């Protein structure tokens, strides 16, 4: 059975930078968590997140959010960051996704990038359920990857990504990180070669890709 489209909006709103309006609406989020069967598989973990949001000051929540999502690349909520890194193909994928949004009459905010996960989830709520499920199935590998990183970090936000994964008709597959971006990062990641000059690179492996317009 297709998910209630409001579930995508629920996950999207909680995944965004916390503002007072969100905190004020926590009772409504609680009601949905108690009643919507789509959230049942991760209800305990999602309850932990709601409890966290309701027990901290807004300033503390905002500082924590920035620390978790903006200062740690492995937790970034930009889907294509985890697939392409700084590769130029990321731009092409952005264009494809933006065209998909426009085809359905979905408009982004002025400063939003199309691969921002909360925006993608909001988009799922605006399109037919079968199309949303297909796109979620394409993206689930990356969503699972980010959620796994957040869980390892101990962030209660991991529950939101785990809940999104539970809605997918596709089982997530392991995601290979994109190539490192520069020589310094390569040296830090892989270590030097025997001469101590260049990074000892690992063999390249085909990454799981997310193509909104269709699979490669």
Would residue 147 count as lying in a domain?
yes
Contact yes or no for 140/165 (Cβ under 8 A): yes
Q: What's the burial of 151, exposed, middle or buried (CB within 10 Å: 0-12/13-18/19+)?
A: middle
Contact yes or no for 11/127 (Cβ under 8 A): no
Q: What is the pLDDT of residue 45?
A: 98
Would residue 209 count as lying in a domain?
no
Q: What is the pLDDT of residue 28?
A: 97
Would residue 196 count as lying in a domain?
no
Contact yes or no for 178/87 (Cβ under 8 A): yes
Contact yes or no for 116/110 (Cβ under 8 A): no
Domain that holds residue 152: 5-178
Digitized pLDDT (tens) for each residue of the chain, 216 residues in all:
567 899 999 999 999 999 999 999 999 999 999 999 999 999 999 999 999 999 999 999 999 999 999 988 899 999 988 888 776 777 888 889 999 999 999 988 777 899 999 999 999 999 999 999 999 999 999 999 999 999 999 999 999 999 999 999 999 998 876 655 543 444 444 444 444 433 333 333 333 345 333 333
Element spanning 10, H or E? helix 5-15
Q: What is the pLDDT of residue 214?
A: 39
Number of domains in the chain: 1
Q: What is the pLDDT of residue 92?
A: 84
Would residue 190 count as lying in a domain?
no
Q: What is the pLDDT of residue 216?
A: 36
Q: What is the pLDDT of residue 208?
A: 31
Q: What is the pLDDT of residue 213?
A: 38
Give the DSSP letter of residue 107.
-
């Amino acid at each position: 059975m297709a998910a209630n489209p409001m579930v995508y909006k629920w996950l999207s709103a909680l995944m965004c930078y916390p503002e007072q309006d969100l905190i004020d609406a926590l009772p409504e989020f609680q009601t949905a968590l108690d009643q919507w069967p789509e959230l049942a598989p991760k209800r305990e973990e999602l309850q932990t997140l709601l409890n966290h949001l309701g027990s901290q000051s807004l300033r503390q929540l905002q500082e924590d959010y920035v620390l978790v999502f903006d200062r740690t690349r492995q937790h970034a909520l930009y889907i294509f960051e985890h697939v392409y890194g700084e590769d130029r193909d990321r731009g092409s994928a952005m264009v494809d996704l933006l065209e998909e949004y426009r085809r359905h009459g979905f408009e982004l905010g002025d400063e939003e990038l199309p691969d921002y996960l909360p925006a993608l989830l909001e988009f799922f709520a605006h399109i037919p359920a079968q199309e949303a499920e297909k796109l979620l199935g394409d993206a689930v590998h990356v969503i699972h990857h980010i959620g796994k990183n957040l869980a390892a970090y101990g962030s209660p936000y991991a529950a939101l990504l785990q809940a999104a994964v539970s809605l997918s008709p596709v089982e997530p597959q392991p995601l290979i990180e994109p190539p490192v971006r520069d020589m310094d990062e390569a040296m830090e990641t892989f270590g030097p070669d025997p001469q101590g000059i260049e990074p000892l690179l690992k063999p390249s492996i085909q990454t799981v890709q997310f193509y909104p317009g269709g699979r490669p």
